[in-house]
């Protein structure tokens, strides 16, 4: 009996020691999970719910690395968006248009695609779309983004978008920065033409600052910040 008592004492002490450690560890685990959720939320654009620039970059790289030549990177700019913001509906109408664009891009990209709002009225998509389907899918996207958006009081606002796309097989690389730079140049080449432009290797040679075509609004400040 004495030996049994002596054995139970150390076991009880060890259990108490483990329990004492577990309490702060459990607290840190809960804290870490909460922090993770906050960080994940911070990577989302609050207006559209889309990924922010950093979150999109991470996810897009995963897509291009995984799918290679079957990946497609798309950049989208809304045309005449300032006129919508400055119109009768004001910024509320602009917000509706941005939110509607986000919903349409998300539906087009599918559950395995990545959609981000890079800033203002600029969006980006990375998705698995093979060479045989690209032309058709990009035409579908052009039509989808050109549908009027209903704002307050049932008013319909006409919208349109400029679209540029780039693929690893077309450029010979899966480097996301190169793909985005080429897609940006292709998008500018097709500005206000109501058609999506698929980048060629020549588009990748257009001078850029931080992945944006040189001379594009915002590039000068980005360059100074860099």
- Is pLDDT above 50 for 222? no
- Please give the model's pTM, rounded to 2 decimal places: 0.75
Question: What 3-state class would DSSP assign to 155?
Answer: coil
pLDDT on residue 38: 52
The tokens of 182 are what?
């080429």
User: Which residues are paired to 78 by β-bridges?
Assistant: 161
Residue with tokens 């035409």: 139
Q: What's 153's DSSP letter?
A: G
Question: What 3-state class would DSSP assign to 75?
Answer: strand
- Is pLDDT above 50 for 173? yes
Mean pLDDT in residue range 92-110: 96
Q: Please name the residues in contact with 135: beta carbons below 8 A apart, sequence gap of 6 or more.
A: 198
pLDDT on residue 26: 57
Mean pLDDT in residue range 75-96: 89
For 67-71, the CB contacts below 8 A with 24+ separation are 67/128, 68/168, 68/169, 68/174, 69/130, 69/131, 69/167, 69/168, 69/169, 70/128, 70/129, 70/130, 70/131, 71/126, 71/127, 71/128, 71/129, 71/167, 71/168, 71/174
pLDDT on residue 112: 94
């Amino acid at each position: 009996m004495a030996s049994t008592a002596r054995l139970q004492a150390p076991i009880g002490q060890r259990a108490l020691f483990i329990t004492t450690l577990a309490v702060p560890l459990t607290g840190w685990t809960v804290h870490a999970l909460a922090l993770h959720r906050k960080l994940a939320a911070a990577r989302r654009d609050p207006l559209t719910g889309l990924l922010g620039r950093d979150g999109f970059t991470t996810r897009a790289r995963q897509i291009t690395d995984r799918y290679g030549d079957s990946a497609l990177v798309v950049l989208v700019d809304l045309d005449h968006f300032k006129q919508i913001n400055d119109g009768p509906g004001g910024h509320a109408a602009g917000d509706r248009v941005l939110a509607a664009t986000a919903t349409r891009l998300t539906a087009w990209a599918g559950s395995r695609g990545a959609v981000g709002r890079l800033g203002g009225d600029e969006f980006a998509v990375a998705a698995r779309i093979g060479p045989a389907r690209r032309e058709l899918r990009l035409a579908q996207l052009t039509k989808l983004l050109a549908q009027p958006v209903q704002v307050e009081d049932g008013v319909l606002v006409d919208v349109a978008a400029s679209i540029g796309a780039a693929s690893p097989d077309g450029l010979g690389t899966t480097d996301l920065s190169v793909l985005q730079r080429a897609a940006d140049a292709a998008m500018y080449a097709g500005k206000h033409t109501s058609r999506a432009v698929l980048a060629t290797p020549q588009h990748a040679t257009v001078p850029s600052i931080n992945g944006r075509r040189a001379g594009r609004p915002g590039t000068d400040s980005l360059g100074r910040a860099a």
